[in-house]
């Protein structure tokens, strides 16, 4: 006899065999919480299935059948509110679909276990997200997934215990000073602690500029988990640079399996919000097998979720790299355009990809700059409602000394947005393309420099905002330092 369970035709069937077809002897009927045709008690069934039959394809099938519906298989006139498991056992749901436009199919889904699995699994999916609100006590939201029930969870920052949380907590807010941190989480049951899930996050304010010349000898702002990246005295300038192979040639695929690839990855942990005209500049030697192993530069605009390649090199990219041996005289400067990611918060990484065969001296990088220190940050703040008109606010402070902020408001999405600074004679000192921009409040900060990076003198200046064919002007007084 069958019953209706959550709108589906349900019947208990045989103990699940590990292989071969399913046998279908008659089992006692399921118990229910409400009145039904089934009895109110059932014997223990160690492992059983619930069979559900549908007309039409399973959800997600490419063969659509608009007439898909449960097939009534019972004369029972009362809805079964719950199907109760026996005292112990593992229970499955069998979903079967048939239809005129699809193949017959049958799917076995784990419904529940009684008791639940007693295995102790480590947490997973740790993700730390900083607020980037301050260089002191910046809030960092740490979240993770618990894979088992725990008595407590332990949160670590840079291998030091940060907090012990009772039960199966899955979220914690840390307050960290400016820096790159490794967060780890483990579960505890009894006296047993699981392995740790981990993730990195940079706490502190972010701007339009970041750099590293590795002269500290530590590469403290780089994430190199699972790779051999480290500092090296083979430098373009100064005492130190950064390489994937500080102790010899780079690594190929273990075991020499044909067609395999292995990656040595170094991610710069400092995020940057890119203004228009942004570039990544650095010095490099790329001694990798031509046409097979590559030095690949990548950018992420979603905190490392996905990566976009912006350039790749090998030893054929420059004659100085042809002998496969790194030498300080072989460094070449690279300047890569980042305009695709304008107004986005980005991370960069270097990925050396190699196959199973020939290896050389590898990838050496030095003097890494994302924009220069004089770049101008652009901050966007979404308004509570759409503004009604185009506005350009006076600078703050005014007079200015060091920097001045110009606020403006856009009533709609604009592709062409430009700010230019003029002196009293009408000569253009600086011009920046800011679009495209979304509707809302925006702030442009002028650092008191012209387009060549030279500091302007004291006096009166004019800032002109051009949005499409419309123009607005504000006057700014500038003081001497």
Instruction: Using DSSP bridges, classify how beta strands 152-157 and 332-337 pair: parallel, antiparallel or unpaired.
Output: unpaired
Q: Which of 304, 339, 370 is where one domain is finished? A: 370
From the list 418, 408, 421, the residue with the least C-alpha distance to 455 is: 421
Q: Is the pLDDT at 35 greater than 70, yes or no?
A: no
Q: Is the pLDDT at 391 greater than 60, yes or no?
A: yes
Compare 31 and 152 and report the one with higher pLDDT. Answer: 152
- Within a domain: residue 309? yes
> pTM value?
0.57
Cis geometry, peptide bond prior to residue 436 (ω within 30 degrees of 0): yes
81-114 confidence digits (pLDDT tens)? 444 445 556 666 777 766 655 556 666 666 655 5
What is the helix (H) or strand (E) element at residue 200, kind and residue range? strand 197-203
- Within a domain: residue 119? no
The answer for residues whose C-beta is within 8 angstroms of residue 20's C-beta and 6 or more apart is none
182-223 confidence digits (pLDDT tens)? 999 999 999 999 999 999 999 998 888 999 999 999 899 999
Q: Residue 321 — very low, low, confident or very high, per pLDDT cuts 50/70/90?
A: very high
Same structural domain, 150 and 277: no
Instruction: Give percent of the chain with pLDDT exceeding 90.
Output: 32
Domain of residue 281, residue span: 212-370
Tokens matching residue 75: 């004369």
Same structural domain, 319 and 231: yes
The C-alpha atoms of residue 440 and residue 417 are separated, in whole angstroms, by 13
Confidence at residue 19, expressed as pLDDT on a 0 to 100 scale? 43
- Within a domain: residue 349? yes
- Within a domain: residue 273? yes
- Within a domain: residue 101? yes
Number of domains making up the chain: 4
- Please say whether the beta carbons of 53 and 96 come within 8 A: yes
Confidence at residue 435, expressed as pLDDT on a 0 to 100 scale? 77
Same structural domain, 245 and 364: yes
- Within a domain: residue 110? yes
Q: Which of 325, 352, 370 is where one domain is finished? A: 370
Tokens matching residue 227: 């790779």
Distance in angstroms between the alpha carbons of the first and the last residue of the chain: 91
The C-alpha atoms of residue 279 and residue 346 are separated, in whole angstroms, by 12
Cis geometry, peptide bond prior to residue 37 (ω within 30 degrees of 0): no
Tokens matching residue 135: 């260089």
Q: What is the DSSP letter of 251?
A: P
Degrees to nearest 5, angle at CA 121 with 116 and 127: 120
Q: Which residue has the tokens 């002028």?
A: 446
Degrees to nearest 5, angle at CA 49 with 45 and 54: 150
Compare 30 and 251 and report the one with higher pLDDT. Answer: 251
Q: Is the pLDDT at 59 greater than 50, yes or no?
A: no
251-305 confidence digits (pLDDT tens)? 877 766 667 788 899 999 999 999 888 999 999 999 998 998 999 999 999 888 8
Same structural domain, 313 and 452: no
Q: Is the pLDDT at 33 greater than 60, yes or no?
A: no
What does each C-alpha distance from 265 to 53, 190, 268 come to in angstroms?
49, 38, 10
What is the average pLDDT value for the chain, to the nearest integer? 77
Look at residue 2 and give its three-state secondary structure: coil
105-159 confidence digits (pLDDT tens)? 666 666 655 555 567 889 988 989 898 888 889 999 999 888 889 999 999 999 9
From the list 464, 465, 456, 460, the residue with the least C-alpha distance to 476 is: 460
Confidence at residue 32, expressed as pLDDT on a 0 to 100 scale? 35
């Amino acid at each position: 006899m069958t019953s209706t369970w959550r709108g589906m035709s349900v019947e208990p069937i045989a103990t699940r065999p590990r292989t071969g077809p399913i046998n279908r002897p008659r089992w006692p009927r399921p118990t229910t919480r409400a009145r039904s045709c089934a009895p109110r008690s059932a014997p223990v069934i160690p492992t059983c299935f619930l069979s559900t039959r549908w007309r039409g394809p399973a959800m997600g099938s490419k063969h659509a059948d608009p007439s898909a519906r449960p097939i009534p298989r019972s004369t029972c006139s009362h809805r079964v509110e719950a199907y109760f498991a026996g005292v112990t056992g593992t229970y499955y749901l069998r979903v079967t679909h048939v239809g005129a436009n699809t193949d017959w199919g049958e799917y076995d889904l784990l419904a529940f276990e009684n008791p639940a699995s007693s295995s102790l699994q480590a947490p997973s999916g740790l993700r730390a997200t900083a607020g980037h609100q301050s260089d002191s006590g910046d809030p960092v939201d740490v979240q993770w997934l618990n894979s088992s029930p725990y008595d407590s969870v332990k949160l670590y920052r840079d291998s030091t215990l940060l907090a012990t949380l009772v039960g199966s907590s899955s979220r914690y807010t840390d307050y960290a000073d400016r820096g790159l941190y490794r967060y780890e989480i483990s579960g505890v049951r009894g006296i047993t602690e699981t392995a740790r899930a981990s993730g990195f996050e940079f706490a502190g304010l972010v701007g339009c500029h970041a750099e590293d010349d590795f002269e500290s000898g530590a590469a403290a702002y780089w994430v190199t988990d699972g790779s051999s990246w480290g500092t090296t005295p083979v430098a373009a300038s100064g005492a130190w640079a950064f390489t994937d192979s500080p102790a010899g040639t780079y690594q190929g695929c273990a075991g020499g399996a044909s067609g395999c690839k292995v990656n040595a990855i170094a991610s710069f942990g400092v995020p940057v919000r890119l203004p228009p005209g942004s570039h990544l500049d650095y010095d490099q030697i790329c001694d990798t097998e031509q046409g097979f192993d590559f030095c690949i530069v990548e950018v992420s605009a979603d905190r490392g979720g996905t990566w976009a390649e912006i350039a790749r090199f090998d030893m054929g990219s420059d004659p100085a790299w042809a002998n496969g041996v790194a030498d300080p005289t072989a460094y070449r400067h690279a300047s890569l355009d980042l305009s695709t990611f304008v107004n986005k918060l980005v991370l960069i990484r270097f990925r050396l990809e190699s196959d199973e065969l020939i290896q050389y001296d590898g990838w050496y990088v030095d003097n890494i700059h994302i924009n220069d220190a004089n770049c101008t940050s652009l901050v966007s703040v979404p308004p509570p409602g759409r503004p009604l008109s185009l506005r350009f606010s006076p600078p703050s402070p005014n007079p200015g000394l060091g920097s001045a902020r110009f606020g403006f408001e856009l009533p709609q999405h604009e592709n062409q947005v430009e700010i230019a600074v003029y002196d009293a004679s009408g000569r253009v000192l600086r011009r920046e393309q800011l679009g495209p921009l979304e509707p809302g409040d925006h702030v442009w900060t002028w650092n008191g420099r012209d387009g060549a990076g030279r500091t302007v003198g004291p006096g009166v200046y004019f800032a002109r905002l051009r949005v499409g064919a419309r123009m607005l002007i504000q006057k700014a007084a500038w003081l001497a330092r």
